[in-house]
Amino acid sequence: MVSGISLGLNLVSLILLILPGIAGVKIGLLITDRADWLNRTDTIALSFGISLLSVVIFYLLYSNYKLGFASYRDLIELVSEPQSAIGVYMFIILISAVQGAILGYTEFGGDRVASRQGLWYKFFSIIETESSKKKYQVRVRMQNGDELQGRIEDKGEISTDRDILLENPRRLFYNQDGEIVHHYKFTGYAYLHNAQISHVEFDDIRDADRVMRWKFDDRPKDDDDDETEELEDMAKAQEEDVENNEGE
């Protein structure tokens, strides 16, 4: 029981140590308007480094205030009172924030968030515009390999968050050769979170509807018909695209 409590306290202490560093990383990304390109392990490692450096900086500042290197006893006395301990912790967070600001001004991070959001918004605003002469069908490839097709539905701020709302979606099932073997059509809407999306493709609605009718409706396929050949070519292009994406 005692060892369990000790382990819990150590875990809380570790979290409290990392939090200032996480705040510093986020502030740096916010200032430079960059996307977080780090994985979870790298984020924790960088946050731990910033927090540790903040503690060292605080120790040096406090030692300078004491006109000599502060001893372990001096530090214990400093954080013996709750109010004093909170004040020290907030000061360490402030130091981490300053480090994050310095990182921000060095163009720290991945792609610029504004440019990525701007590209997404600009493209989808064209797709969603009701007055647009061309209408589009969206083919959304999910991280798990599923594919959904449908019309983009504009519901305010969804597209700016890079989530997608599909109207009357159709789910496609592929065999190992990348051929569509079955499809299931939903009525209503499908909400797709951006974290689940692998990539997005767009087809002209007129062509997309013709291809799907040609594939799944019980209509004769005349090999000599020019339109049928055109639809065959478009269908093969879609299937080849699926195979290429699966190969990647």
Q: Determine the Cα–Cα distance for residues 25 and 28; give it in Å rounded to an integer.
A: 5
Q: Determine the Cα–Cα distance for residues 248 and 199; give it in Å rounded to an integer.
A: 12
What is the structure's pLDDT at 75? 84
Based on the domain organization, do 127 and 242 belong to the same domain? yes
Based on the domain organization, do 133 and 235 belong to the same domain? yes
Based on the domain organization, do 118 and 97 belong to the same domain? no
Structure tokens at 89: 């912790």
Tens digits of per-residue pLDDT, 89-137? 999 999 998 888 888 777 665 555 555 555 666 666 666 654 455 566 7
Based on the domain organization, do 132 and 224 belong to the same domain? yes
* Cα–Cα nearest to 214, from 196, 200, 228: 228
CB atoms within 10 A of CB 113: 16
Ranges of H-type helices in 105-220 = 113-128, 205-216
Q: What SS3 class is residue 87? A: helix
Number of domains in the chain: 2
Give the percent of the chain with pLDDT over 70.
58
Structural domain range at position 6: 2-104
Based on the domain organization, do 224 and 117 belong to the same domain? yes
Q: Determine the Cα–Cα distance for residues 243 and 169; give it in Å rounded to an integer.
A: 22
Last residue of a domain, one of 59, 83, 104: 104
Based on the domain organization, do 93 and 161 belong to the same domain? no
Tens digits of per-residue pLDDT, 209-225? 555 555 555 444 444 45
Tens digits of per-residue pLDDT, 165-221? 778 888 887 777 767 777 778 788 888 887 788 888 777 655 555 555 555 554 444
Based on the domain organization, do 86 and 122 belong to the same domain? no
Half-sphere exposure of 11 (CA within 13 A, CB side): 6
Burial class (CB in 10 A: 0-12, 13-18, 19+), 184: exposed
- Output phi, psi for 213, to 5 deg: -65, -40
Based on the domain organization, do 121 and 230 belong to the same domain? yes
Based on the domain organization, do 154 and 123 belong to the same domain? yes
Residue with tokens 């589009």: 136
Q: Determine the Cα–Cα distance for residues 140 and 118; give it in Å rounded to an integer.
A: 20
